Amino acid sequence: GNQHTMGDAVEICLVEPAVQKYAWGKIGTASAVAQLSQQKVDEKSPYAELWMGTHHKAPGMVTVNGKKELLSKVIGAELPYLFKVLSVGKALSIQAHPDKKLAEQLHKDRPEVYKDPNHKPEMTYAVTKFEAMCGFRPPKEIAAYLASYPEFKKLVGEETSKSFITCAEGTDEQALKKALTQLFTTVMEANKDDVAKQVEAMCKRLDSSQQGEIEKLLLRLNGQYPLDVGVFAPLFLNYVVLQPGDAMFLSANEPHAYLDGNCIECMACSDNVVRAGLTPKLRDTPTLCSMLTYKAMKPEIMKGKQLDDNTKMFTCPIDEFELTVTKVAGGSSYSLKGVKGHSLILAYDGTAAAASKSGTKCDMKKGSVLFVQGGADVTFTATSDLTIYRCSTASA
């Protein structure tokens, strides 16, 4: 247990994370989130996300002298990042996270929907093979799909398709951006019945034809969200498969949707999301269409930087967070050096005793989350093969 009293500087302590049971999560013990939750698992419920941090929507808790307190109260601070595990069973909505300026505006105008004024860039680290759609495809790829998918072309319309294909062959960036904006907006704001008709026609045609990777994905999405406009998304968004140990960074305003697998996510502390398509949740298509950065981009896959035999580090172009992945063999010890901001460490696998310099000890097992004060070193003595993830503010 945590023996310290309030107000003392807490070097290390165990934190109870929060579980989110969104509909897209993997079900019951098949979910990594359920396995990490250290709770009794309901085999019928989806376990989608594990939240580690101080976000007011699902704050971390600390037991002090037998009583639960907010982590933010115990440490006297809010963490600038939110650390998560996601276990994705079916597609999430096509979404984008607003940048700081737009977030402030949305929060001011519609606080009931956009609950905080923060921006939300994020990094995704694949624990298992992880599938996602993100960023607009190179224009020539979209043009090729307009040509080979009559249903997509019908939904977009003859004129918009023509002008897009013409722009895709040219080099005028502004014209292309305008054409892409028009294409995306036309698809996302199309009449529901028209969408249903074209999705149905497309899936019927694909069912009886040769199926490659994209065809299989379109049919799978239609199985999860029948006749939804999001079924067309793979034709204009990049389909990305991260292998275990790969990571990618998503800046604010990039469209994306996760499809399947388990990942670790670090983000600026915010829960603002603007959605459209593949979702039972509130849609805000006009805002999504207007805020996106309409530039084609293939997400860069990061492999991390090996710091020593045990630890790899993933950094991003922003200061709010960085991620380190550490493996310690059972029976050995490893010291994680302190970083300048407070950090959170998740034991994803294995068991260990964690000890701070002043001698505070915490036992960790699968799903344990450890708060570490800025600057404090922690030594992990692994009693079985240990994998830990640490999220902290950027150290460099």
Q: What is the pLDDT of residues 211-231, one digit of tens each?
A: 899 999 999 999 999 999 999
How far is 249 from 263, CA to CA, in rounded Å?
13
Determine what percent of the chain is predicted with pLDDT higher than 70. 95
Here the tokens at position 216 are: 């299989």
Query: Helix 213-224 to helix 192-207 angle, to the nearest 10 degrees?
Result: 130
Up-side HSE of residue 170: CA atoms within 13 Å toward CB? 13
Residue 7 pLDDT > 70: no
Q: What is the pLDDT of residues 263-287, one digit of tens each?
A: 999 988 766 666 777 777 778 888 7
Return the closest-CA partner of residue 231 out of 209, 208, 262, 201: 201
Q: State the pLDDT at residue 71.
A: 96
Q: What is the pLDDT of residues 248-266, one digit of tens each?
A: 988 777 888 999 999 999 9
386 and 327 in contact (C-beta within 8 Å)?
yes
Residue 290 pLDDT > 60: yes
Pairing relation of β-strands 311-314 and 322-328?
antiparallel
Residue 4 pLDDT > 80: no
Mean pLDDT is lowest, of 5-9, 12-16, 112-116, for 5-9
Q: What is the pLDDT of residues 62-120, one digit of tens each?
A: 999 899 999 999 999 899 899 999 999 999 888 877 677 777 888 888 888 777 666 66
94 and 218 in contact (C-beta within 8 Å)?
no
Summary mean pLDDT of the chain: 90
Q: State the pLDDT at residue 396.
A: 55
Residue 24 pLDDT > 90: yes
Place of tokens 């993997």: 26
Contacts for 330 with CB less than 8 Å, ≥ 6 apart: 350, 382, 383, 384, 385, 386
Q: Which helix (H) or strand (E) holds 201?
A: helix 192-207
How far is 140 from 181, CA to CA, in rounded Å?
15
Regarding predicted confidence, which is higher, 364 or 109? Answer: 364
Is there a catalytic annotation at residue 390? no
Residue 5 pLDDT > 50: no
Return the closest-CA partner of residue 288 out of 259, 252, 235, 250: 252
Residue 38 pLDDT > 80: yes
Among 110, 137, 205, 275, the active-site one is 275
127 and 32 in contact (C-beta within 8 Å)?
yes
How far is 261 from 300, CA to CA, in rounded Å?
19
